[in-house]
A and B are shown apart, each in its own frame.
Chain A
């Protein structure tokens, strides 16, 4: 007997490949202010909720919906530095994909291939941020709903409550869970009214109980330091109109970018597979698919949840289509049958010992690959170089030693880095868009895009210096005025009045 059966071998291989893919140098623009907020929470033994990092919102109340993630991130960073954070991101990515795999149908090889595809789509949002917890919890929630639907056992629904309690403290993305559950209910009602040919449709009673758990999930989110305010978070965040102009992940996808295209192919794939199917799709698959296709097309940060919803549907209908085609092919072309028979025979002929050796070697090789990737992406020199490519490392060192005084306008993407590295100097803006709101963000954008009012805005905020990208429009414009270059390198420039 082989130690590892085929149905387990393929997912293990793919999950290890996903781990290799997901372990990355943990440098993300928002990571730094999350770490600093986590540090403040631990130091003061109180959730950080009044702004001290910026001069534009100093003293303002802030609903820090990711406080638990921030503490967790900081503890990991303190214990394992960059290595720890990259393993944590990789682990979360693998966990989210594992629960997707458990919902899939078809041959393990096919399921594993689709899982890899889903991982590529989802990988756009794998980063050291609280959002990664949403991905995991969303995937687990999907699995619980899947199991409830199949078994009708309420024990799976009970788990929804702790998930939402945790979610409400880890990240504001809990609303995605509510949308998922709501769309499943709508799908189930669609099944009841129009699509009666599914054996595992829920009864009205089971639907009602499920609905009670949605309401309960929504209620238990309130178990957090901010209470009712947590319900405002989705509206506060999405309500920031300038969001998509500042954060690319909130923008609608740009499929001219190759890294965003896998989502498009997955959408086209699901689209085609359900079209080619001779059966109609279960409403509890269809409605969430529509909901999360919409979400992903509106903001690319939703690629992850889309992949988690689409992958099980993709594998189910692809498996069914392949079965249909194989049936036709084996009837029409006897050689297809021969090849299939031969392949099965070859597989049987392999000795279990030999199979075990090959399988273990493969898994061992992949584990070595994981170890190598973790070491490689977190190698000191590599990190320093990567940091220099993205952040104003030298400019920050220069600023630390300089006597520049007064307010400094900073590039939005560098706000978090400055918060962590220049602790005594508050920033103009950083990734906390819900804190800054349209007012500050619009002013920031007006300056950066040189709207006619930009000189007045600089005066209004009493800006004496700017730390911006050296090839930015504002850097060029200021050079043509009475501002002086204080510091300049390949990526950053500091100018003062």
Chain B
């Protein structure tokens, strides 16, 4: 009897649940995409540099220390805690560690999507399908950036709000706690308050709560807002966020804020999700709850405005969508196929209940970091987690180290973070990826120079630029080649460097 129990217990631990298989698959996929995630975006270098500064100096800078163009200007460090986490893992395990942490967070977020979908629908296969579609839609934004923390927290946040709506969670205290972490991790903490507003207004309209009773829901909002002020810049963090979004020029010049381009296959999973939403809402015989309508409708709109919101759409809207889908399936029970499917789902649910899960996830997570730290290349290309010589001026930076130029350098905007990673504090940059800080005026000046607009030479003079680093074959490069006062110092397939010669 004991042996039988022991075997059963062992099997319950060793046989993974569907959700666990999903988690491991996503984790492995993100690890496999490591070099792509690091190289598709230029800001990782800046995040690591800032995180390292915080660790070394035990100080969170509230003024610019990275550029010579804005040096000393007030700065809102709205991602300082993320940068700290990235730097800590970087010190422990290098760039492999950064990729590992990113994989953990992304896989955790999508597992939460699966989990909440399952809770709302009781149909693991449909929840799994939702999770897979969500993974496909959000994969464009699997990047080694602080926004991954927002994706995770948004998933956690909406799950807890849904529990409150269903009466499973009574206490509201977890929300200010989550918000305290969120506001220091990433500037998109505002999403949490938006999600809360969707639930609050929706539940009022559904007459599920009233302003006089159920005050715990009001406290979620009030306490979370107040807690959002506990950050190095206080209320300034709100002003920074809205200030950037209110600037049409900066928003339209930041690639991630651009709307999704459905001509690109990478955006098709999101398009499919929108069409499924219409299909599901159209076929549903029940009125959708207002909070769910606001979540699906609101985040669809947000994601159609800016592709960077697609991951947030995935973690917030998919559980709701899956819940509605299963509602329709239950309406079609008369169909033999649907009935059999529901029966099959029940059997899976019963089997899963007897399983413990978690073992293989833990093994995978630990094994991955051990292998990565031992130098095993786990990415699909087998190139290793490093900055690509095709994307960043890796060789050119080596040349700069050997031939350090005097004076200020004008740099290609997406390379600002990498140059900080290589040269700060010895060298500052002209500009880097923190567009919200550099503002419209400097970004316009930068654009003037790279497009050779009238006055581009004056901009270089005004900032006392003595060297320029740009991608190979740039327009600015052609003009500098033709100029008598600039000499090409270095050139490779990725980057070219020019020196000022008076």
Known: A256-B305, A272-B297. A290 touches B263 (CB 8 A): no
CA distance A252 to B300 in the complex (A): 15
Interface residues of A in 465-486 (CB under 8 A from B): 471, 473, 476-477, 480-481
CB–CB A480/B452 < 8 A:
yes
Shortest C-beta distance, B289 to chain A (Å), equals 9
Per the 8 Å Cβ criterion, residues 266-305 of A in contact with B are 268, 270-272, 274-281, 285-286, 289-290, 293-294, 297-299
In the complex with contacts A254-B259, A268-B297, A476-B451 CB distance below 8 A: yes
Task: Pick from A271, A278, A299, A476: contact of B278, CB below 8 A.
Answer: A271
Closest Cβ of chain A to B479, distance in Å, is 5
The closest CB in chain A to the CB of B294 belongs to: A272
Q: Are A452 and B473 in contact (CB under 8 A)?
A: yes
Asked if B287 contacts A278 (CB within 8 A), the reply is: yes
Shortest C-beta distance, B429 to chain A (Å), equals 24
Cα distance A253–B301 when bound, in Å?
Answer: 13
Interface string of A244-273 (1 = CB under 8 A from B): 100000011111100000001000101110
Chain B CB within 8 A of A194 CB = yes
A4 interfacial contact with B, CB 8 Å: no
A278 / chain B contacts, CB cutoff of 8 Å:
285-287
Q: Check A476–B304 contact: CB distance below 8 A.
A: no
**Cα distance A225–B371 in the bound complex, in angstroms:** 67
Cα distance A476–B252 when bound, in Å? 23
With contacts A276-B293, A277-B287, A477-B478 taken as known, whether A286 is within 8 angstroms of B282 at the C-beta atoms is yes
How many residues of chain A have a CB within 8 Å of chain B? 40
Q: Are B281 and A271 in contact (CB under 8 A)?
A: yes
Chain A neighbourhood of B287, CB < 8 A = 275-278
Is B452 a contact partner of A256 (Cβ separation < 8 A)?
no
Pick the contact of B451 from A264, A294, A452, A473 — CB < 8 Å? A473
Shortest CB–CB separation between residue A33 and chain B, in angstroms?
25
If A280-B283, A290-B279, A293-B275 touch, does A264 touch B293 (CB 8 Å cutoff)? no
Is A195's beta carbon under 8 Å from chain B? yes
- Chain A residues, Cβ within 8 Å of B475: 450, 473, 476-477
Query: Given B262, B275, B305, which contacts A252 in the complex, CB threshold below 8 Å?
Result: B262
A274/B281 in contact, CB under 8 A: yes
A251 pairs with B263, CB closer than 8 A: yes
- Tell me if B271 is interfacial: C-beta within 8 Å of chain A: yes
Contact in complex: A251, B304 (CB < 8 Å): no
Q: Are A255 and B284 in contact (CB under 8 A)?
A: no
Contact assessment for B278 and A252 in the assembled complex, using a CB-CB cutoff below 8 Å:
no
CB within 8 A of A286: which of B283, B285, B452? Answer: B283
Residues of B within 8 A of A195 (CB): 283
Known A255-B305, A297-B271, A452-B473: A244·B263 in contact at CB below 8 Å: yes
Write out, one digit per residue, whether chain B residues 470-494 have a CB within 8 A of any chain A CB (1) or not (0).
0011010011001000000000000
Mask, B153-189, CB within 8 Å of A = 1, is 0000000000000000000000000000000000000
Partner pick for B452 among A252, A255, A476, CB 8 A cutoff: A476
Assembly CA distance A218 to B60 (angstroms): 68
What separation, in Å, do the CA atoms of A290 and B296 have in the docked complex? 16
Chain A residues whose CB sits within 8 angstroms of the CB of B300 once the complex forms? 268, 271
In the complex, what residues of A have CB within 8 A of residue B267's CB?
A: 252
| C-alpha gap A194/B338 in the complex (Å) | 11
Residue of B nearest to A278 (CB): B287
Task: Report the Cα distance A275→B283, complex, angstroms.
Answer: 9
**Are A274 and B278 in contact, CB atoms less than 8 angstroms apart?**
yes
Q: Chain B contacts of A281 at CB under 8 A?
A: 282-283
- Hey, which chain B residues are within 8 Å of A252, CB to CB? 259-263, 267
B277 engages A271 (CB within 8 Å) = yes
Q: Which residues of B contact A253 (CB under 8 A)?
A: 259, 304
Contact A264 B304 (CB under 8 A): yes
Given the complex, which residues of A lie within 8 Å of B277, measured CB to CB? 271
B482's partner among A276, A277, A481 (CB-CB below 8 A) is: A481
CB distance from A333 to the nearest CB of B (A): 15
A199-240 interface bits toward B, Cβ cutoff 8 Å, 1 = contact, 0 = none = 000000000000000000000000000000000000000000
* Contacting pair A276 B278 (CB below 8 A): no
Q: Are A255 and B259 in contact (CB under 8 A)?
A: yes
Residue ID in chain B nearest A321 by CB atoms:
B287
Cα distance A253–B261 in the bound complex, in angstroms: 8
Question: Is residue B235 within 8 Å, beta carbon to beta carbon, of the partner chain?
Answer: no
Asked if B1 is at the interface (CB within 8 A of a chain A CB), the reply is: no
Residues of A contacting B286 in the complex (Cβ-Cβ under 8 angstroms)? 278
* Cβ-defined contact, A256 with B248, below 8 A: yes
Task: Using known A-B contacts A252-B262, A297-B262, A298-B263, determine if residue A280 contacts B271 with beta carbons closer than 8 Å.
Answer: no
B483 to chain A: closest residue by CB: A480
B293 to A194, Cβ gap below 8 A? Answer: no
Counting CB contacts under 8 A, is B336 at the interface? Answer: no
Would you call A476 and B453 a contact (CB within 8 A)? yes
Considering residues B260, B281, B285, B293, which has the most beta carbons from chain A within 10 angstroms of its beta carbon?
Answer: B281
B281:A275 contact, CB within 8 angstroms: yes
Residues of chain A within 8 A (CB-CB) of B275 are 290, 293-294
Q: Taking the complex as formed, is B335 at the interface, i.e. its CB lies under 8 A from any CB of chain A?
A: yes
Rounded to whole angstroms, the CA-CA distance of A254 and B296 in the bound complex is: 20
Looking at the complex, which one of A280, A298, A480 makes contact with B262 (CB distance below 8 Å)? A298
Residue of A at shortest CB range from B335?
A: A194
Interface: B332 (CB within 8 A): yes
Name A194's closest neighbour in chain B (CB-CB).
B332
Chain A CB within 10 Å, residue with most, of B275, B304, B473: B304
| Complex interface: chain A residues within 8 A of B297 (CB) | 268, 271-272, 275
Within the complex, what minimum Cβ distance (angstroms) separates B248 from chain A?
7
318-336 of chain B: CB within 8 A of chain A: 332, 335
User: How far apart are the CA atoms of A471 and B453 in the complex, in Å?
Assistant: 8
The docked-state distance in angstroms from the alpha carbon of A253 to that of B260 is 8
Residue among A268, A294, A299, A477 making CB contact with B271, cutoff 8 Å: A294
In the complex with contacts A264-B304, A271-B297, A281-B283, A477-B335 CB distance below 8 A: no
Q: Tell me, yes or no, whether B126 is within 8 Å of chain A by CB.
A: no
Inter-subunit contact B285/A279 (CB<8 Å): yes
Q: Give a binary string over A153-190; 1 marks a CB under 8 Å from any B CB, 0 the rest.
A: 00000000000000000000000000000000000000
Task: Write the nearest CB–CB distance from B218 to chain A, whole angstroms.
Answer: 24
CB atoms of B293 and A297 under 8 A apart: no
- Expressed in whole angstroms, the minimum distance between the Cβ of B154 and any Cβ of chain A is 20
Tell me if B284 and A280 are in contact (CB < 8 A).
yes
Contact A480 B478 (CB under 8 A): yes
Bound: A450/B482 CA distance, A? 16
Nearest chain B residue, comparing its CB with the CB of A452: B473
Q: Could you give, for residues 178-212 of chain B, a 1 whenever the CB lies within 8 Å of some chain A CB and a 0 otherwise? A: 00000000000000000000000000000000000
0 or 1 for each of B68-88: is its CB under 8 Å from A? (1 = yes): 000000000000000000000
Q: Does B288 contact A (CB under 8 A)?
A: yes
Whether a CB of chain A sits under 8 angstroms from the CB of B251 is yes
Give the Cβ gap from A237 to chain B, nearest Cβ, in Å: 14
Q: Does B274 contact A (CB under 8 A)?
A: yes
In whole angstroms, how far apart are the Cα atoms of A277 and B260 in the complex? 29
Q: How far is the CB of B78 from chain A (nearest CB, A)?
A: 23
Q: Which residues of B contact A294 (CB under 8 A)?
A: 271, 275
**Residues in A whose Cβ lies below 8 Å from that of B262:** 252, 297-298
Q: How far, in angstroms, from A270 to B305 measured CA to CA in the complex?
A: 18
Q: Given the complex, which residues of B lie within 8 Å of A450, measured CB to CB?
A: 475, 478
Cβ-defined contact, A255 with B283, below 8 A: no
Closest to B260 in A: A252
Chain B interfacial positions (CB closer than 8 Å to A): 248, 251-252, 258-263, 267, 271, 274-275, 277-279, 281-288, 293, 296-297, 300-301, 304-305, 332, 335, 451-453, 472-473, 475, 478-479, 482
18 contacts between A and B (CB under 8 A): A252-B263, A256-B258, A264-B301, A268-B301, A271-B277, A271-B278, A271-B297, A272-B297, A274-B282, A275-B293, A278-B285, A286-B278, A293-B274, A297-B271, A298-B271, A477-B475, A477-B478, A481-B478
Could you list 10 further interchain pairs (A-B, Cβ under 8 angstroms) beyond the known A194-B283, A256-B248, A280-B285? A194-B332, A244-B261, A254-B259, A276-B288, A280-B282, A289-B282, A298-B263, A450-B478, A476-B452, A480-B478
> Considering the complex of A and B, which 7 residue pairs feature the smallest CB-CB distances, nearest first?
A281-B282, A452-B473, A275-B281, A275-B288, A286-B282, A252-B262, A476-B452
